[in-house]
Structure 1
Amino acid sequence: MFYTFFAQFLVGHPFDTVKVRLQVQNIDKPLYRGTFHCFQSIIRQESVFGLYKGIGSPMMGLTFINAIVFGVQGNTMRLLGHDTPMNQFFAGAAAGAIQCVICCPMELAKTRMQMQGTGEKKSSRKLYKNSLDCLARIYKREGVWGVNRGMVTTLIRETPGFGVYFLSYDVLTRSLGCEPNDRYMIPKLLFAGGMAGIASWLSTYPVDVIKSRLQADGVGGVNQYSSIADCVRQSVRKEGYMVFTRGLTSTLLRAFPVNAATFATVTLVLMYYRGEQGGAQDCEQAQPAKPSHASQIQPQA
């Protein structure tokens, strides 16, 4: 299963880098015209490795986030007592909220690293050596509050986002059925997982745009936004309401395959270890965490 998640990072992280670049670029002097132009520009200007900037942070946080999400979601379902779609939503929301403790600092470091050296093949002056150095420098300069920059928007995104994620998967698997002997079980799991990822991102994507802008703000010592409301106000005034869709194409292109593979892999592994005694119930109850929005492991991604 580790190799599956590793492969998802290799495939999915470039889409996340493009998403962040599009979300936070200066509208007065835009570097990218769209998703594919952004891909081309990064490869041409920064080499293919430019697409993988910041990948160390989500890779380090994946294990902790998965452990928190699985533990919280499973325990919450046991407390609620009944396996219903709405209970899946509440259990997912609880898991999403608690994992923000790890997710927020992780995505802060990822975002800062992804923005570093924009348009440069070899950065003349690197502010951060790696993700850990990034967090250490932010902590030294801004303390605990600095390391948790964007926590409120992360909570607003992850809590309902994870709820929709688990709810969508549960509803789809109940509708499609996933009997162990069904020859189409794996395609059904892939479809349900991919659509759950898309539904999760669509439900909270505007918040993700604001979160990225707040976490990228302050690089170089200049803060553009004083609060969440100020970020929303300035963004809408300069770019209109379409600002909340910036980077959405890249996000959706990443969301379906990554989440399809994640759900199918985790479900099949859990079914294998539990045996086929649980049958279709395992398909409905066994659910994974989101790769790095975020990335997501949000819806992250």
Structure 2
Amino acid sequence: MNCKRDDDSADVLTWFLLSPGAAGVLVGHPFDTVKVRLQVQSIDKPLYRGTYHCFQSIIRQESVFGLYKGIGSPMMGLTFINAIVFGVQGNAMRMLAHDTPTNQFFAGAAAGAIQCVICCPMELAKTRMQLQGTGEKKSSRKLYKNSLDCLVRIYNREGLRGVNRGMVTTLIRETPGFGVYFLSYDVLTRALGCEPNDRYMIPKLLFAGGMAGIASWLSTYPVDVIKSRLQADGVGGVRQYSGIADCVRQSVRREGYMVFTRGLTSTLLRAFPVNAATFATVTLILIYARGVEEGPKDCESEPSEPH
């Protein structure tokens, strides 16, 4: 999205209103860039000592814009993913009929699995862009102009299989991850017991959404490390892994089981504010769109009801 200051201010406002996670992407993307850099860096010649050093190095070597490499991909896919996730989860809850924590898990898992169709190519482009020009303020040789160009070039070289690299690991991560996501949010909102007229409803929604995001990432983070490594594999022209099992085997043999925590600090720092904003915004929109009198009584998002 290209903004021309005042001329496009209305479009920017509309974007943020229609896509509650857009602001979260802007705030959270630098943490995601750090996460990916830490996950895939070579153990033999590590560039970064930890989360803070990675932030510091990227800003010093590549400027602050280095933290926002690859942001075009999640910004383009964000609206579609949110629509799929909350739409599928809502329809699944209607089919399951009973609003229970268990059904929230299954509905969330279904939503997570279906949105992988968009999520996997989006994250592939994001990862490749985040790694392009590592340590260079002005990259001497840019392989990809932007996220769309990245996907087009991968498709031209490797076809659909290349564009969907990492799909299996994405499914393994997203299916239970979104189940835990909606389950955690449901359990927390029930425990907090807020009502639409509760003066502390918004802080409770923010807390529940943030903690749901953290729980979701913790439940599947090791898979995310493998996914990032598989999607980054071959960037330098040499493939290191023949598949998921080979990636796990090589990673553990060379770096031990702590490899599965690479970039976790950055991820959790990002997870709370991003998911707090997303869940709270979606919930409030649904509550006030239906009228406060008809809003959910225990402040669950309940996207199962139509807008």
| Alignment TM-score, normalising by the size of structure 2 | 0.92
- Indicate whether 1:28 and 2:44 are aligned: yes
Match of 1:118 in 2: 134
Q: Which amino acid aligns with 2:211?
A: M
Deviation at 1:68, TM superposition (A): 1.2
Structure 1 residues 8, 87: CA separation in 2 closer, same or farther (over 3 Å shift)?
same
What is the alpha-carbon distance in structure 1 between the residues aligned to residue 267 and residue 18 of structure 2?
23
Match of 2:249 in 1: 233
Match of 1:217 in 2: 233
Paired residues of 1:177 and 1:280 also in contact (CA < 8 A)? no
Structure 1 residues 247, 226: CA separation in 2 closer, same or farther (over 3 Å shift)?
same
What is the alpha-carbon distance in structure 2 between the residues aligned to residue 278 and residue 201 of structure 1?
32
Match of 2:109 among 93, 98, 116: 93
Q: Which amino acid aligns with 2:28?
A: G
Q: Which amino acid aligns with 1:243?
A: V
Percent sequence identity is 88
- Indicate whether 1:206 and 2:193 are aligned: no
Match of 1:170 in 2: 186
Match of 1:197 among 208, 213, 216: 213
Query: Superposition RMSD on alpha carbons, in Å?
Result: 1.3
Q: Which amino acid aligns with 2:126?
A: K
What is the alpha-carbon distance in structure 1 between the residues aligned to residue 84 and residue 20 of structure 2?
19
Match of 1:69 in 2: 85
SS in 1 for 2:299: helix
What is the alpha-carbon distance in structure 1 between the residues aligned to residue 58 and residue 18 of structure 2?
28
What is the count of residue pairs matched by the alignment?
288
Paired residues of 2:34 and 2:51 also in contact (CA < 8 A)? yes
Deviations 1:84-120 (A, max 9, x none): 0000000000000000000000000000000000000
Q: Which amino acid aligns with 2:132?
A: Q
Structure 1: give runs of 5+ residues left out of the alignment: 289-301
Match of 2:264 in 1: 248
Match of 1:9 in 2: 25
Paired residues of 1:20 and 1:247 also in contact (CA < 8 A)? yes
Match of 2:292 in 1: 276
Match of 1:138 in 2: 154
Deviation at 1:181, TM superposition (A): 1.4
Q: Which amino acid aligns with 1:99?
A: Q
Alignment of 1:247-266 (within 5 A): 247-266=263-282
- Indicate whether 1:83 and 2:99 are aligned: yes
Deviations 1:148-175 (A, max 9, x none): 0000000000000000000000000001
What is the alpha-carbon distance in structure 1 between the residues aligned to residue 298 and residue 115 of structure 2?
24
What is the alpha-carbon distance in structure 2 between the residues aligned to residue 5 and residue 227 of structure 1?
32
4+ residue stretches of structure 1 with deviation over 4 A? none
What is the alpha-carbon distance in structure 2 between the residues aligned to residue 149 and residue 116 of structure 1?
18
What is the alpha-carbon distance in structure 1 between the residues aligned to residue 19 and residue 190 of structure 2?
28
Deviation at 1:6, TM superposition (A): 2.6
